[in-house]
Structure 1
Amino acid sequence: MNEKTWPFSIFLANEAETIRLGEELALTVKPGDCLALVGDLGSGKSTLARALIRAIADEDELEVPSPTFTIVQSYALRFPVSHLDLYRLSDVSELDELGLDEMLSDGVCLIEWPEMAAGELPSDSTITLRLSHEGEGRLATIDAPPRLRARFERVLAIRDFLQEAGKANVSRRYFSGDAAYRTYERVWDAAGQCLLMDWEPPPAGPAIKDGKTYAEIVHLARSVTPFVAIDHFLSGNGFSVPAIIHQDLERGILLLEDMGRGGVLDDNGDPIEERYFSSVACLAALHDTPAPSTIRVDEGITYQVPPFDADAMKIETSLLLDWYLPHVRGHETRSDERQSFFVVWDELIGKLADTEKNLLLRDFHSPNIIWQEHETGIRKVGIIDFQDAMIGPTAYDLASIIQDARVTVSSDLQARLMSYYLDIRRKNPTFDETAFLKAYAIMAAQRNCKLVGIWVRLMKRDAKPHYMKHMPRTLSYLRSALAHSDLGPLRAWLAQAGVDIQ
């Protein structure tokens, strides 16, 4: 049903299908959208609007009264939603008094009887949905400006995908969005609940070095294929990862097992020690499991796991130069400072030549660990969000969990977790503890140099200042890593640059 000729129509055989369409539209509309609902009395406009609002609220019993007499009903949901009925509007000038522009500035408007405001609705962001009687059911005809059409085509492509998976009559709700072009839906029916990953390839972005974009240099996944490949490898070696129920690699849609909501933090957001120790044991097992650089994904499809190479490591640390230093010093980083910074990192990366290299998951920390209470051993540690995995120093992932970016892990607990990990790894006669500890310090420093830049970037570029609450912790972790003797050159560079390392 994707790549449709516009406008297009959907037959709704009954009220349940009208509600289903409303729930699908709830996954499609975004702040700034105006949905004009056109149709005679009894055509289903209010049913569809009610279903859409309840789906955005994720509350099936939410009271959604008709705005016939109030003209507008407002809802403070995941984003603001305004439901308008213009039937009693005496003059189009009253739209200004209602504040339609303000409603659309950060929210969505659903408008019944939009004919009363003909010519006043924004032409570039108004979706028209016309409901008409057809036989025993209704016909929904949808039209939208060209820039909005891809969203509707996508939600209907997912409808086709679910039908292929034997899930034609499921309920769907927005679950989360962990990246601009990857979102998750909660999908359920009488058989149970699962998660849908919707991943459209992001725009390439500007080339910044040797004709490559930032995402290409740091080897960020751009499709579902890497996720499927790493999922196959991990599940095949006894680790807990989401089962893939149905997949469409070309369209970038996966139906996944829902592993639950149990995490590794208590109600106060502090580490549950038992679960952190289990997570460290899981990593030790993974690091003792040789990983191939090429993984079979499907018939005729293989995936080459990228290396965590020098270019990737250095461009990530450059976030400190691009964002953190200008923030604390009030001026851009000088070119000679950049050059000397990368000289230091070339030296540190060179010291990784003798360290253990295997699969690293890249973001093995509290947000991406789902506790599996019903399992045993390492399978208690459910792993998600591993599509950006690489082959590189395994110490990186240990630094990710022991120095958890979003959680304060005390120095005492850090030491005990490290001791526990080393006790397990020492059983492997090929494990080089000295080289590993050196790599741990370098990787911890590399990761925290990246993070201090990310927190500032999220605040300044993305208007998400709450991430700055992690800055003191990240600097504390960085200071800890810099205590290793091999980190002397970086410690000296940061001190001269004015980074708080005392």
Structure 2
Amino acid sequence: MADRETTAHDFLAQCGWAGADCWPLAGDASFRHYQRLSLDGRRAVLMDAPPETEDVRPFALIARHLLGLDLSAPEILAEDAVNGFLLLEDFGDDTFTRVLAQTPEAEAGLYELAVDVLADLHRRPTADVVPRGLETYNDAKLLEEACLLTDWYLPAITGHNIDAAVRDGFIAAWRNGFAAVHGQPRTLVLRDYHVDNLIWLDGRKGIARCGLLDFQDAVAGPAAYDLMSLLEDARRNISADLKRLMLARYAAAIPELARPGPDRDAFKTAFAVLAAQRHAKVIGIFTRLCLRDGKADYLIHIPRVWRLLEASLGEPMLAPVAAWIDRHIPPDLRAASPGTEAAQ
């Protein structure tokens, strides 16, 4: 740790922040750590991402790309990719989550702003919004993530590893659904687009008031993903009325979806399939965070995510997935918590 601190101090000295006051900021589900810096009236945020577990280059790449699209990502003030440090513009503490807790009546306006950011991004040509060489959200990646449910949650609640043939059946069950997803227009998918990762930037105008964070895992993929991530939040209950209004707002802003028809139907199917995939992934991730990383706080959200997953499985294209889950994770197992015993 002392060596890491020395390397961080050297980085700050090299970019003109030697002697800055610093204090820790809340972390996230990764191995990254953040500190707020203050020096001579200036403020910034230090991202400390140990290179043995993290890579700052994707964050820097997407941040600069989003800034080039006139969206509000943090400016990269200094970078040391080898040692895993970024010095970032400080967006402050007003995450949408915090604003909603303090001002519940702001809910509709904040969600409208978040939807408008996505609509602006998704109306642009793919070549403009997807950086060259960006990874594609293909079947292999979608399945790798969905299998976090079988590889972490299922063993945690049953006490034994899943049989390979049973796991193969889970994988096969997704194929038709993913085929529908890949028929959607491709755009930049930020991958973790929800109120915890959006910042209210007072003083800016239009969609620039929405600050963007945690986009280092961005991929090229279907537009429905980020909208689904926003409206089917693993950590926050969203009313059916608000979801309906935001879906309608988004559809009205996208020419291909503005009227009922095959394009809108295909988008709804993709939304449901991607919702099921994400919720399966998140249940697995929250389990892994508990058992591997000792972060049990995430377990409280698993019942909500199961409800969201069960609702999304009503999509006919997901009938094979629904049947697999009913057989191998019946409702009594879904009610079980991975707990912390297995981690001890």
Report the TM-score range of the alignment, normalised by the length of the smaller protein.
0.7 to 0.9
**Residue 322 of structure 2 aligns with which residue?**
491
Letter of the 1:225 counterpart: R
Measured at CA, do residues 455 and 160 of structure 1 come closer, stay the same or move farther in structure 2, by a change above 3 Å?
closer
How far residue 427 of structure 1 moved from its aligned partner, in angstroms, is: 6.5
Question: Is the CA contact (8 Å cut-off) linking 2:174 and 2:318 kept in structure 1?
Answer: no
Cα contact 1:241–1:382 (8 A) shared by 2: yes
Which of 293, 305, 328 is the equivalent residue of 1:474? 305
Q: Do the aligned partners of residues 337 and 408 (structure 1) sit closer, same or farther apart at CA in structure 2, a change above 3 Å counting?
A: same
Deviation, 1:471, is 1.3
2:92 to 232, 249, 260: 260
Q: Which has the larger radius of gyration?
A: 1
Shift of 1:459: 2.9
Q: Secondary structure at the match of 1:315?
A: helix
Shift, 1:436, TM fit: 1.7
Match of 2:177 in 1: 348
Tell me the SS of whatever aligns to 2:162. Answer: coil
- Alpha-carbon offset, residue 341 of structure 1: 0.9
The Cα of 1:188 is off from its aligned counterpart by: 0.6
* Offset, 1:238: 1.2
Tell me how far apart the structure 1 counterparts of residues 122 and 154 of structure 2 sit (CA, whole Å): 35
Query: What is the rounded CA distance, in whole Å, between the counterparts of 1:324 and 1:437 in structure 2?
Result: 28
Match of residue 244 from structure 1: 76
Q: CA deviation at 1:330?
A: 4.6
Q: Provide the C-alpha distance between the structure 1 equivalents of 2:298 and 2:92, rounded to a whole number of angstroms.
A: 25
How many Å separate the matches in 2 of 1:279 and 1:171?
Answer: 33
2:250 alignment partner in structure 1: 421
Query: For the structure 1 residues 290 and 191, does the alpha-carbon distance in structure 2 shift closer, same or farther, using more than 3 Å as the test?
Result: farther
How big is the shift at 1:328?
A: 4.0
Measure the CA separation in 2 of the matches of 1:466 and 1:228.
Answer: 29
Question: Structure 2: how far apart are the matches of 1:467 and 1:312?
Answer: 23
Q: 2:9 aligns to what?
A: 159
Q: CA deviation at 1:464?
A: 2.9
Q: Which residue in the other structure is 1:309 paired with?
A: 138
Q: Find the residue that maps to 1:223 and give its secondary structure.
A: coil
Inter-partner Cα distance in structure 1 for 2:130 and 2:118: 21
RMSD: 2.6
Deviates more, 1:271-280 or 1:469-478: 271-280
* CA–CA distance in structure 1, aligned partners of residues 284 and 3 of structure 2: 37
Question: In 1, Cα distance between the equivalents of 2:111 and 2:26?
Answer: 24
Change (3 A) 1:321 1:359: same
The answer to whether structure 1 residue 232 and structure 2 residue 64 are counterparts is yes
Say whether residues 1:410 and 2:239 are aligned partners.
yes
1:336 CA drift (Å): 2.3
Query: What secondary structure, in the 3-state scheme, does the structure 2 residue paired with 1:363 have?
Result: coil
Q: Give the strand-richer structure, 1 or 2.
A: 1
State which of 215, 218, 233 in structure 2 corresponds to 1:386: 215
Equivalent pair of 1:294/1:305 in contact (CA under 8 Å) = yes
One of 148, 156, 168 as aligned partner of 1:339: 168
SS where residue 165 of structure 2 aligns? helix
* Contact 1:269–1:407 (8 Å) recurs in 2: no
Structure 1 unaligned regions, length at least 5 = 1-150, 204-221, 296-302
How many angstroms apart in 1 are the aligned matches of 2:292 and 2:32?
A: 20
Q: CA deviation at 1:493?
A: 1.7
- 1:173 Cα shift? 2.2
Structure 1 window deviating more from structure 2 (231-240 vs 249-258): it is: 249-258
Moved over 6 A (4+): 268-271, 427-431
What displacement does 1:380 show?
1.4
1:285 aligns with 2:120: yes
Partner of 1:173: 23
Report the Cα distance in structure 2 between the residues aligned to 1:251 and 1:459, rounded to whole angstroms.
28
2-structure distance, mates of 1:494, 1:254: 42
One-letter amino acid matched to 1:198: D
**Inter-partner Cα distance in structure 2 for 1:345 and 1:305:** 24
Change (3 A) 1:202 1:491: same
Q: Distance in 2 between matches of 1:381 and 1:499?
A: 40
Label 1:456 to 1:249 Cα distance change in 2 as closer, same or farther (>3 A).
Answer: closer
Given candidates 200, 206, 214, the residue that maps to 1:371 is 200
> In the superposition, relative to structure 1, how do residues 179 and 331 fare at CA in structure 2: closer, same or farther (>3 Å)?
closer
Decide whether the 8 Å contact of 2:148 with 2:285 is kept in 1. Answer: yes
Give the Cα–Cα distance (whole angstroms) in 2 for the partners of residues 477 and 172 of structure 1.
40
For the residue of structure 2 that corresponds to 1:333, the secondary structure is: coil
The yes-or-no answer on 1:455 pairing with 2:305 is no
Matched, 1:192 2:192: no
Cα drift, residue 474 of structure 1: 0.5
Say if 1:244 and 1:463 are closer, same or farther in 2 by CA, change over 3 A: closer
The gaps in structure 2 that reach 5 residues or longer are 336-344
- Look up the match of 1:446: 277
* Secondary structure class of the residue paired with 1:267: helix
Aligned amino acid, residue 457 of structure 1: R
Report the residue type matching 2:286 in the other structure. W
Structure with the higher helix share, 1 or 2: 2
Contact 2:22/2:37 (<8 A) preserved: yes
Percent same amino acid at aligned positions? 34
Distance between the aligned counterparts of 2:65 and 2:87, measured in 1? 18
Structure 2 CA distance for aligned equivalents of residues 179 and 475 of structure 1:
20
Contact 1:181 1:201 in 2 (8 A): no
After TM superposition, the score normalised by the length of structure 2 is 0.87
Q: Tell which has more relative contact order, 1 or 2 (C-alpha 8 A, sep 6+).
A: 2
TM-superposed deviation, 1:458: 2.6
